Amino acid sequence: MLGQIGHGQILLAERAYDSNALREQIDSQGGWACIKPLAHRKYKPAFSAFLYRYRSRVECFFSKIKHFRAIATRFEKHAENYLALVKLAAIQIWIRNYESVS
């Protein structure tokens, strides 16, 4: 998946992925790593707290999508069918959130 990060793209990752090797790999591909630096680092690399908030939204989505039994256990063998189930679950989650806001 890291091989697909190209020029102008951003990798959002948690502190566990904070390493010089990973940051150098992303830089060499032309991307930018938005990873919260570990507390013990002497040199703290650039970090955007604004962008880092979006990582939380993605994690919450994956948490919600795992509540769907067919997705959590991966009943579907073919990738196309599994992706269709993920899309249906995402639509259902979106509708639930939309109804609660209205």
Residue 60 covered by a domain: no
Specify whether 102 is located in the same domain as 77: yes
Question: Would you state the pLDDT for residue 102?
Answer: 61
How many structural domains compose the chain? Answer: 2
Residues 46 and 2 in one domain: yes
Name the CA dihedral angle for 88, 94, 97, 100, rounded to a multiple of 10 degrees: -80
Q: Which range of residues forms the domain containing residue 26?
A: 1-54
Based on the fold, state whether residues 42 and 73 are members of the same structural domain. no
**Digits of tens for pLDDT over the chain (102 positions)?**
677 888 888 888 888 889 899 999 999 999 998 988 988 888 888 888 888 888 888 888 889 998 988 888 888 889 999 999 999 999 999 998 877 776
- Let me know whether 43 and 5 are in one domain: yes
Domain match, 50 and 1 both: yes
Claim to verify: residue 4 and residue 45 sit in the same structural domain? yes
pTM equals 0.63
- Residue 5 shares a structural domain with residue 49: yes
Q: Which residues does 13 contact at the CB level (< 8 Å), separation at least 6?
A: 22, 33, 34, 35, 55
